[in-house]
Amino acid sequence: MKKIFLLTLLLVTQQATAQNRIASLNLCLDQILLNWLPPQKIASVTWLSADDHYRKAPLPKHVYLNRGRAEELLRLDPDLILVGQFGAQRAAARLRNLGFNVVAIPDAYSLEQLLDQLSALEKTLGHNAPLEKQKRRLEKLLVQPVPRARASALILSANNITYGSGMLEHQLLERAGFANLAAKQGVEQLGRVSLEEVVAAQPDLLVLYGGEKDFAIAHLAARHPVLKNYIDSGRVYTLPAELGFCPALVAADVLQQLTEKRKSLVEQR
């Protein structure tokens, strides 16, 4: 029995030490490492994560910024290399052929795929408290029934882009108890909506998804008095930028906040 325990302990220890230096060839996976792993375990992330638009967590000085090329990681000799489904495939294949431990993590464009992505990360990274907490939160929120007392919402992004059916943003609205007016009007994935159409639709909630800095408030308030009324009355919600490039970090927060927003709007009727 003692031998079995020692063998198990040895295997667990080997698995833990086998991932002491982790590299990423994917922007979203960069963010997951930077936000959820101790800095000393991160060997490299992509150069995009040096941009403040993408990076919300500190970037340790020792972390090498790669451009998705295999030769950059050779000298770093990481124990684990994370790659997405589509990007940096040539580098991933070469690194695998050279004997590196390269793991492809599925991308996530829906709530279902997001749970698959978190499960794959959990399996690959092992015990990770922030990852496990985020996964449990999302699972708990998704088993709750969709609220019966619904409200309407419309997403307005930079360049008058709106989000219809088939998008993660649409799923989050629906799960929170909102009727997405863009989807009701037949928009599939992305579409355009004029400010006049926004005003005519009269959504209960205007969901802002900015591309330009301060797009949400500074630009819209000056462009139409009705939109200013939405902002002044608090009938707006701003989706975080991370939802567009790494929803694993924020999807649970967004779903919970939208659910609470819908509840407050219904109570005000």
The pLDDT value recorded for residue 87 is 81
- Please check whether residues 175 and 123 belong to one and the same domain: no
Query: What mean pLDDT, rounded, does the chain reach?
Result: 86
Give residue-wise pLDDT tens across range 18-33. 568 999 999 999 999 9
Q: Which of 237, 226, 241 is nearest to 262 (CA)?
A: 237
- Report the pLDDT averaged over residues 189-209: 90
Select, from the ranges 56-60, 66-70, 157-161, the one with the highest average predicted confidence (pLDDT).
66-70
Is residue 6 included in any domain, yes or no? no
Give residue-wise pLDDT tens across range 89-131. 899 999 999 999 999 999 999 999 999 999 999 999 999 999 9
**Max intra-chain CA distance, the chain:** 75
Is residue 51 included in any domain, yes or no? yes
- Please check whether residues 98 and 123 belong to one and the same domain: yes
Is residue 50 included in any domain, yes or no? yes
Is residue 4 included in any domain, yes or no? no
Is residue 5 included in any domain, yes or no? no
Q: Is the model's pLDDT at 251 over the cut of 90?
A: yes
Domain count for the chain, please give it. Answer: 2
**Structural domain ending residue among the three candidates 140, 174, 200:** 140
d(CA 93, CA 99): 10
CATH number of domain containing 75:
3.40.50.1980
Give residue-wise pLDDT tens across range 133-171. 999 999 998 888 888 888 999 998 878 889 999 899 999
**Structural domain ending residue among the three candidates 81, 110, 140:** 140
How wide is the angle at C-alpha 136 spanned by C-alphas 131 and 142, nearest 5°? 125
- Please check whether residues 57 and 90 belong to one and the same domain: yes
Range of the domain at 20: 16-140
**Structural domain ending residue among the three candidates 117, 140, 163:** 140
Do residues 161 and 171 touch, judged by C-beta distance below 8 A? no
